[in-house]
Every structure is written in structure tokens, then in C-alpha cells.
Chain A
Amino acid sequence: MATVVMPQLGESVTEGTVIRWYKRPGDRVELDEPLCEIETEKVNVELPSPYAGTMGEIFVSEGETVPVGRPLCEIVEAEVAAAPGGPPRSRARAPSPAAERALTGTRADAKASSGTEGRRFYSPAVLRLAALHGVDLDEVPGTGIGGRVTRKDVEAFLARRESAPAAAEAPSAPGARETVAREAEYEVVPLTPTRRTIGDRLSRAVREIPQAWTMVEADVTELVRLREQTAARLGRRLTLLPFFARAVCRALREHPNLNARFEEGELRRYRDVNLGIAVAAPSGLVVPVLRRAQELSLEGLARALDELVERARAGKLRLGEVEGGTITVNNTGAFGSVASRPILNPPQVAIVTLERVVRRPVAVGDDAIAIRAMVNLCLTFDHRAVDGHEAGAFLATLRSLLEAPTAA
């Protein structure tokens, strides 16, 4: 008999929630067959069975969140399939290589996520204060190196917590009744791990990074026409996003400083464009990463993007696919926005949006007005890494690429 435990899904992940079990006690289980679906702060994964055998007892019910290493279920008569020779029992506890890969992603991915490592370490002073005053450290914003929660952070949190009820009571006794009355008027929405992580990351990005914003306007009349032609030629649905992604990759070739990450105290300029794509999934925002996007043709980009977005919406991304981005693009025009000011996705130093294409009258030539397809391109950048001049030059290149598009 072998026990399957909550796996370590990336270096910074400490717990996971079992969403649903695919197997019931008594079911036959093959090696690498999905046992259950697990939701973590970063991504949803299917847990491939490290063993073949028969499903035994299940220890964690659906919806329950448990820390890494906690037993999830037992597999009876566990054996590693196709294990040539040797006693199967002794091999039973070694998870299959496939399971390992699926669960942990590559080494490089794990390293790239080390920006969130600080949250895991609490100093003795912090733990002592938290235990003494009953503080949930997840709620305390950290201001130390790498977002570490310091003793002073806990003390400030306690001071706020103490002054908050005092302020509420200040208007005299009826205040308390009002609070109770109001509570009946709202519903508490429990935060999913994904939602909480999004919140933490965005708050930290805003708090810690000097973000600057700029926007240019592009005439994409030609591009809109080209898209229709290309869609007809390829016989498939085609949005502007692959065109935009291709233009971003090409513009980065001329302005490589925007294809960078601030990590481990240094600014790292990447050779490959690992394009983060913001996707609105049912469970919240996810940003799958299209690796080495600069190597793909327009058609290749279109296919890869479709596939990635589809799996993102279905919650089928693997951990390695949401890490390691070097720049993020966001097709905000898809929901009708004409200008937006995105927040950086640290440690990346730039995020660029494609807004909604609007047909409107513009001045053309010296003295004419024409109806043109216009679109805004918005860029938020980390001012520590890039100056406005360079950011503007990048947008200008991007605009000219979009205004004079090529079919290939």
C-alpha cells in the first residue's frame, strides 16, 4: 500500500485545495492516470497517479485545503507499471518521472518564481508576535526585502487592528448596532487561492514599483483589411491578437530593454520573448506564457495563442506555463476598452495593451478627413528599468509595425 501526498507544486506553493476526485475507493488506477484536480495559488493541476493499483481510502474531501505533504489518499496493491525486475513494493514509493515533471515544471521556472519566496519565511520575532496576538500572517503586508513580513509590519498591523474597532465605536453605542445591521446586507465571498494571489501580487506591484504609463494611437485600417484576407486564406477565425503579438516581438528586437525582468536584485534582459498573455478565466485572471514567441510565424502565433487561451479558460494550465514571462500583452479591446492603465506583472518590466479598434473620422494628409480604423496602444513600464524616452520609442516602433503590416 502506498500513500499519495499533497505535492509541492512549485517552490513557493505551500498548500493546495482538492477540487474534485476522479477516482473512488475500489477503482482501478493506472500509472499517471489523473487522481484528482488540485487548485493552488498559482494554477490548477490534475494530480497524475504516481502508482498503479487500486484506489484505497480518501483522506481529503473535495473543497478541502491542506498543506503540502499531507496524505491525500492511499493506493492499495501499488506497483509501478512496467517495472522490470526488483521488488515492486520498494519501488512503489518512488513517484514516476512523468508525475514529477507534470507537477513541478522545470527547474528554471521554479527559480523564476523566487520573487515570492520571501513570503514563506517568518522570523522568530514575527512568529512569536503572531502567536501572541492571534494574527493571520497572510493578512499582513510585508515591507522587508522580497516582501518579507518584518516585526514592525506585524506591530503596525496590530496598531491598525486596534485602532479600527475604536474608530467604529467612536460615534457612540448605536454604531455597533449599525455594524451588525449592515452585515445582513452583504454576502461574504470567500477568496479562492487564485483570487488572493492576484490581489497580493497586484498590491505589491503597485506598492513597490514606480510604474509609468504612456499611450499611442495607431491607424490600423490596413491591418484590419489584412486580417480579413489572412483569415480567408487560412480558412480560420483570426483576431488581431496574433498580429499584435508578432509586432510586439519585432519591436522588442529593436528595444530589448523592455523584454526584461527585475529579479534577485538585478535587471535581467532576456534573449527570448516569453510572451505573457492575460486571459480572463472563470476563476480569475491567469497569464499563461508563450515561450520563444519571437520564433513563431503569424500562423504559428495564432495557433499557439488559441491553444493556450483555451486551456487557460478550462483551467488546464500546468505550473510551468504561468511562469517565466518576460513581457505581458493584454487584449483589453476584447471587452471594449479604448484606453486602460494595466498594472505590471512583476518581475516583468512592461505590459502593453491592445485596445478596441474604433472607426472614426481622422485628419489625413494636409486637408482631408477620412474614416479610419484607429486603436490605442497602452504601455505601463517599470521606471527603474526603462525611461520614458525608450518606452515611447518602443511604442512608436510598435505603431509603425501595425500601421504597415506584412502578411508573413
Chain B
Amino acid sequence: MPELTVIEAVRQALDDALAADQRVFVLGEDVEAGGVFRATEGLAAKYPGRVIDTPLAESSIIGIAIGAAHYGMRPVAEIQFADFIHAGFDQLCSEASRWCYRTKGDAWLPMVVRTPWGGGVHGGQHHSQSIEAYYAHMPGLKVVAPSFPADYYTLLRAAIDDPNPVLFLEHKRTYRLIRQEVTGSNGEQRIGRSRIVRDGADLTMYAYGLMLHECLAAADELAGEGIEATVVDLLTLAPLDRETVLEAARRTGKVLIVHEDTLTGGFGAELAALIAEHAFEYLDAPIRRLCGPDIPPIPYHPNLEAFYMPDRTKIAAAARELARY
């Protein structure tokens, strides 16, 4: 396969999954026409009857997917923007996540909900939010948030093959921003693994999605100043790869957690607690979180949005402070 963008890797994974397994089908708003980000472009024509438009009703989309999965199908639902997924919160958290538990493991629920998330696209308050913390909190749901095209490809394939409900988060700002050669075997093959993507002795950064790329850019800048950062691409938030997370923290003893979601109760809080609990003796500085401020939405105005979003400059500044500590 050639170099693909994130959106092309997603499309390729859907295409290959549809071709490989007759039980796979795609549903969502405007997916027949290709969807607002063109993730399903061309698939409706190629797989007639298996790429299905739905009404603007997220609860129904997820409910249909749950029902279809009960009946042995492998539905891949698209929620047009992650901001709207909460209409289906009850379906995901009260129904889908518990199916295996309720049946004492007799029945599984092989379904995927894909959704674009994250800021940096001037989407304003209804097209920019981070929603991962709500769902990573729910046992029984897997939450995957890749950063590189190869991982998007292999992890979306893995999510579709997974017998459990998987929430697959696609950072919309990276859709056409990040390119990578995708061979089908060069991405992370398993859900539940994180990866150390850069090695450095001075501090450890944790991120996913757009922020992972901002961390890598900051790490490049810092290397020029003699500060070497280890960077962890979390890839899967639930179930979390605790071994890799803790191993990376123990290496440097200085931890910088970055996400664009708001600070309080964000996913970084779980990481910080985990590290404090299990790598305490290795810590050489207070754990630092660089997150969105605690305000309800990401603002629309570009200046305010820039103020809200962590970026490479803010990350580098926080990292410098931590390295000096």
C-alpha cells in the first residue's frame, strides 16, 4: 500500500473489512454519500446494501448496531461528530457495555462505533469536543484512539474483528494532516497496547490523537536544547496498557500528560493516578498535566481556540520546566 492519510487509512480498513467479511456493514448519517469527512466515499457503490444511511438519531444508530450485533452481524456505526454521541450514551453504557456480563459470557457484542473527535478545526462548541473520558470510564467498552495512519488501519480492522463493543476515535484534525506508508502489518495489531514512539532520558510524555503529534514536534524542538523526551502513543485508552505506561514513567521519573479534553476528571487523571500508585518510587518530580482549561466547550473564535488547545509551544514550555525540576 502507498502512503495514506488518516482518512484514507480509515477508508481502506472499512473497504478491506467489507470485502473480507459478509457480516460487516456500515451505518450512519450520510454514509451512502461518503459522510462529511469522506470516510465512506465510494463504499456504497462497491458494497450495495451494506452502507446504510440513518436518520439524525444517534441513540437509534447505536441501538440498531447493538441489535444487529445480537443477530450475528458486525456493524460499524459512524457518529458524524463525537459531540453528538452522548444522545446514544445510554445505549453504549447501559446496554452495549454490559451484554457480555449480563449473559455470563454466553453472548458477545461485536460492534464498532467510529466517530471523529477533537479540536483545532474551528468547529466551535458542537464539532470540537473530546469525549473519551466518559466512555473510558465504562468497563465493558473498549476505547481506541490512534495517531498514525498505519495504526488507524490495523486497529480499525482489529476493532471490527473484536467480539466486544469498541468505540473507535478518529481525530478529525489529523484526517488529512498526517501521512504514512501503510503496509497493513506496520501498525499496532492488538487493541490494548500502547507504544513508546520516542526514547529520551529526561521526561516522559503521554498523548493520543493530535496531541501525540504536538508532543513529537515539541520533543524535536527540545532535543535541540539537550532535553530528551520519551513519548508514549497510548493508542488504546481502555483497556489501558499499564505495563507500557508504567515502564515509560519509570524510565525518566518525570511525567507530562497531554490531552485537549478538560483537566478535571480527564483521562490524564487516570494516568496520573495509575503512575502515582504503581511507579511512586521512581518519580523524580510531581506529575504534570497539560490539558484544556475547565470550561464547557472549545471556543469558536480562533484566538480563543488557540488559547484552549495545548500545542507544541505549550508542551515544550511545560517539558522544560519539568526537565529543570
Binding site for B on A (CB under 8 A): 123-128, 144-145, 148, 150-152
> B71 at the A/B interface (Cβ < 8 Å)?
no
Interface pick from B42-50, B78-86, B231-239, B281-289: B281-289
Q: Which of B253, B280, B283, B324 has the most CB of A within 10 A?
A: B253
Give Cα A148–Cα B281 distance, bound, in whole angstroms.
17
Within 8 A of A (CB), among B219-266: 252-253
Are A145's CB and B325's CB within 8 A? yes
Are A151's CB and B253's CB within 8 A? yes
Residues from chain B with Cβ under 8 Å of A150 in the complex: 284, 325
Are B281's CB and A124's CB within 8 A? yes
> B19 at the A/B interface (Cβ < 8 Å)?
no
- Assuming A123-B253, A125-B253, is B284 touching A151 (CB within 8 A)? yes
Cβ of A182 to closest chain B Cβ, rounded Å: 37
Residues from chain A with Cβ under 8 Å of B324 in the complex: 144-145
Within 8 A of A (CB), among B47-100: none
With A124-B281, A125-B281 known, 13 other A-B pairs at CB within 8 A are: A123-B253, A123-B283, A123-B284, A124-B282, A124-B284, A125-B253, A125-B283, A125-B284, A126-B284, A127-B281, A144-B324, A144-B325, A151-B284
Are B325's CB and A128's CB within 8 A? no
**Chain A, residue nearest B321 (CB):** A145
Cβ of B280 to closest chain A Cβ, rounded Å: 5
Give Cα A148–Cα B323 distance, bound, in whole angstroms.
12
Cβ of B95 to closest chain A Cβ, rounded Å: 43
Are B282's CB and A125's CB within 8 A? yes
Give Cα A123–Cα B281 distance, bound, in whole angstroms.
8
**Chain A, residue nearest B202 (CB):** A152
Residues from chain A with Cβ under 8 Å of B325 in the complex: 144-145, 148, 150
10 contacts between A and B (CB under 8 A): A124-B281, A124-B282, A125-B281, A125-B282, A144-B324, A145-B325, A150-B325, A151-B253, A151-B284, A152-B201
Cβ of A81 to closest chain B Cβ, rounded Å: 47
Within 8 A of A (CB), among B276-317: 280-285
**Chain B, residue nearest A128 (CB):** B281
Give Cα A123–Cα B286 distance, bound, in whole angstroms.
9
With an 8 Å Cβ cutoff, the count of chain B residues facing the other chain is: 12
Give Cα A271–Cα B168 distance, bound, in whole angstroms.
63
- Assuming A144-B325, A145-B324, A145-B325, is B280 touching A124 (CB within 8 A)? yes
Residues from chain A with Cβ under 8 Å of B253 in the complex: 123, 125, 151
Residues from chain A with Cβ under 8 Å of B252 in the complex: 151
Give chain A's interface secondary structure class.
helix
Residues from chain A with Cβ under 8 Å of B284 in the complex: 123-126, 150-151
Give Cα A150–Cα B325 distance, bound, in whole angstroms.
8
Give Cα A246–Cα B56 distance, bound, in whole angstroms.
85
Are B201's CB and A124's CB within 8 A? no
Residues from chain B with Cβ under 8 Å of A151 in the complex: 252-253, 284
How many contacts between A and B, using CB within 8 angstroms?
Answer: 30
Cβ of B203 to closest chain A Cβ, rounded Å: 11
**Chain A, residue nearest B201 (CB):** A152
Residues from chain B with Cβ under 8 Å of A126 in the complex: 284
Residues from chain B with Cβ under 8 Å of A152 in the complex: 201-202
**Chain A, residue nearest B282 (CB):** A125
Give Cα A316–Cα B53 distance, bound, in whole angstroms.
90
Give Cα A148–Cα B324 distance, bound, in whole angstroms.
10
Within 8 A of A (CB), among B179-213: 201-202
**Chain B, residue nearest A132 (CB):** B281
Give Cα A126–Cα B254 distance, bound, in whole angstroms.
12
Give Cα A298–Cα B282 distance, bound, in whole angstroms.
58
Cβ of B254 to closest chain A Cβ, rounded Å: 8
Residues from chain B with Cβ under 8 Å of A124 in the complex: 280-284
**Chain B, residue nearest A122 (CB):** B284
Give Cα A124–Cα B253 distance, bound, in whole angstroms.
9
Residues from chain A with Cβ under 8 Å of B282 in the complex: 124-125, 128
Give Cα A155–Cα B180 distance, bound, in whole angstroms.
38
Q: Which of B252, B284, B285 has the most CB of A within 10 A?
A: B284
Residues from chain B with Cβ under 8 Å of A127 in the complex: 281
Residues from chain A with Cβ under 8 Å of B285 in the complex: 123
Give Cα A150–Cα B282 distance, bound, in whole angstroms.
11
Give Cα A174–Cα B320 distance, bound, in whole angstroms.
48
Residues from chain A with Cβ under 8 Å of B283 in the complex: 123-125
Give Cα A286–Cα B106 distance, bound, in whole angstroms.
80
Cβ of B32 to closest chain A Cβ, rounded Å: 56
Give Cα A43–Cα B285 distance, bound, in whole angstroms.
32
Residues from chain B with Cβ under 8 Å of A128 in the complex: 281-282
Cβ of A156 to closest chain B Cβ, rounded Å: 12
Give Cα A151–Cα B204 distance, bound, in whole angstroms.
14
Give Cα A124–Cα B283 distance, bound, in whole angstroms.
6
Cβ of A200 to closest chain B Cβ, rounded Å: 20
Give Cα A151–Cα B285 distance, bound, in whole angstroms.
9
Cβ of A170 to closest chain B Cβ, rounded Å: 28
Give Cα A152–Cα B252 distance, bound, in whole angstroms.
9
Give Cα A104–Cα B201 distance, bound, in whole angstroms.
42
**Chain A, residue nearest B254 (CB):** A151
- Interchain residue pairs A-B with the least CB separation, the first 3: A125-B284, A151-B284, A125-B253
Cβ of B229 to closest chain A Cβ, rounded Å: 14
**Chain B, residue nearest A144 (CB):** B325
Cβ of A131 to closest chain B Cβ, rounded Å: 9
Cβ of A14 to closest chain B Cβ, rounded Å: 21
**Chain A, residue nearest B285 (CB):** A123
Within 8 A of A (CB), among B122-178: none
Give Cα A145–Cα B284 distance, bound, in whole angstroms.
12
Give Cα A151–Cα B253 distance, bound, in whole angstroms.
8
